[in-house]
A and B are shown apart, each in its own frame.
Chain A
């Protein structure tokens, strides 16, 4: 289960404006990856390029061995059936109620009977905690509910890859915590490949196996969570700690001399960060071997009794 996505030398620009260039990374099958970056660094553009909605200038995106950037329209629609995408605002169809929205992919792509569709839809709605809201229109519910409904719709075809476009933007901290737990639980249950695009550091510290950081039109770093959390790279440290001191400024970039000065100040302070514990699947969920291993490792690192299962 789960499909590997292999991105090589990807470059995207709109007109003369380069969004990012030469991005290469591999999203390992079945793992959770987070792509971080300050606002306006083209994170959403990256997601749209992965599913072939935007064509990059150079580079390739290989999903299950097929290059999304070079596929013909018809084949592209086939490959996209592997994907479930949660858009920023849920992207629900405004003219349909939540039930029809979530049932939509099933009705379009499968020949399932209405009763079977109902069973699947209600199951997914329960998963995201939306039971009882089937008859509501997207315009009548809160942003958080729209997101969860969008997630239910993305899950309904049992995708191999799930992409999240800022799942936490516009949600309160408690809901973000629930959503993160939901993401981890989902990964343990369906074993798909996850990519979360966000600028929420707390989520990035807790949830993923891998972290990537986009800044200044390039992928600064991509690798296992622990490596990035422990990284000395100034941009990575600034972003993961949410500080003002560092290369990232309000208007994207800062004067180099100022950055030097600021970094020197921080080093004097010398705050050594401890590694944030990882979020584990809820107790009720049977953990696959991958999550068992993660749980054991977390227990060793933090010495807490979080091995249940």
Chain B
């Protein structure tokens, strides 16, 4: 991979072109249902456990921070509201993004990269089969679906973790914690988080597929591709997250 500015531009352009190809190929029949189910199952199986394990301490950290802050301000009754808001709005899309890119994306990238360097992708094209349609589209869809579901999982586990730490460890009042749940957060926060997760899933899978399908230079090339795909995905996801959050605040009126 060249470090020249034109090289970087070309790669971004190609990545974007592939994203457009994916969108264009999306409605093409026959839909690869089998591949989609296999991939969804696969991505879910590599992400569910780590996601749950990451979101428990994530919820706990937020609960700890907010717990001590609200105690100092004398606003314990708001600790539930604040930690739900933080988990729902920011923590869960970010955790989902990290896991989808780190566990799902790397697996997709390594899989496609290995196929690329073994000439399997070329063979497929020569057999008259478009790898975007046959391989990439089902992976992107699978990753999007799993990201949305993971986001739900993270929200539940994160909030539960926050509750546990706040109530059991910091001796907060369970009633106050639960009662203040919806004082700040609202349903549209959940929708916004799910939409974020959907977009993150798509970005992670497209970047991973692009890097996998352009891997070259033998097994080392696959390693490099996986590495680059994680870095690029993280950068894109954080930028996207910022933009989407900013837009969300402009579009949806806030409570409180």
Contact = CB atoms under 8 A, between A and B. Distances in A.
Given A53-B126, A80-B127, A108-B127, A87 B119 contact: yes
Given A94-B114, A94-B115, A81 B128 contact: yes
Nearest to B38: A95
A84 B129 CA distance: 13
B128 A87 contact: no
Contacts of B118: 89, 91, 94
Contact of B123 (A78, A81, A85): A85
A80 B134 CA distance: 16
B122 interface: yes
Interface string A72-104: 010001101101010111011110000000001
A105 interface: yes
Contact of A91 (B123, B128, B130, B134): B123
Contact of A105 (B114, B120, B127, B130): B127
B128 A77 contact: yes
B125 interface: yes
A80 B129 CA distance: 9
A290 to B, nearest CB: 26
Contacts of B125: 51, 53, 77, 80
Nearest to A81: B128
> Range of interface residues on chain A?
20 to 34
Contacts of B124: 93
Contacts of B129: 77, 108
Contacts of B114: 94
A89 B118 CA distance: 8
Contacts of A85: 123, 126
Contacts of A150: 123
Listed residue (A87, A91, A105) with the most chain B CB atoms within 10 angstroms of its CB: A91
A237 interface: no
Interface string B109-141: 000001100111011111111100010000000
Chain B interface residue number, banded: 10 to 19
A216 interface: no
Contacts of A157: 127
A48 interface: yes
Interface string A133-154: 0000000000000000010010
A16 interface: no
A59 B8 CA distance: 29
A194 to B, nearest CB: 15
Interface string B9-49: 00000000000000000000000000000000000000000
Contacts of A87: 119, 122-123
Interface string A96-134: 000000001100110000000000000000000000000
B115 A51 contact: no
A157 B127 CA distance: 9
Contacts of A93: 115, 120, 123-124
Given A94-B114, A94-B115, A48 B122 contact: yes
Nearest to A150: B123
Contacts of B130: 73, 77
A93 B118 CA distance: 9
Contact of A51 (B119, B120, B126): B126
Interface string A33-75: 0000000000000001001010000000000000000000100
Contacts of A153: 123, 127
Contacts of B115: 93-94
Given A48-B122, A53-B126, 7 more contacts: A53-B122, A80-B126, A80-B127, A91-B120, A94-B118, A94-B120, A104-B127
Which 8 pairs, one residue from A and one from B, show the smallest C-beta to C-beta distance? Answer: A91-B119, A91-B123, A85-B126, A81-B128, A87-B119, A80-B128, A77-B128, A105-B127
Interface of B: 114-115, 118-120, 122-130, 134
20 contacts: A53-B122, A53-B126, A73-B130, A77-B130, A80-B125, A80-B127, A87-B123, A89-B119, A91-B119, A91-B123, A92-B123, A93-B124, A94-B115, A94-B120, A104-B127, A108-B128, A109-B128, A153-B123, A153-B127, A157-B127
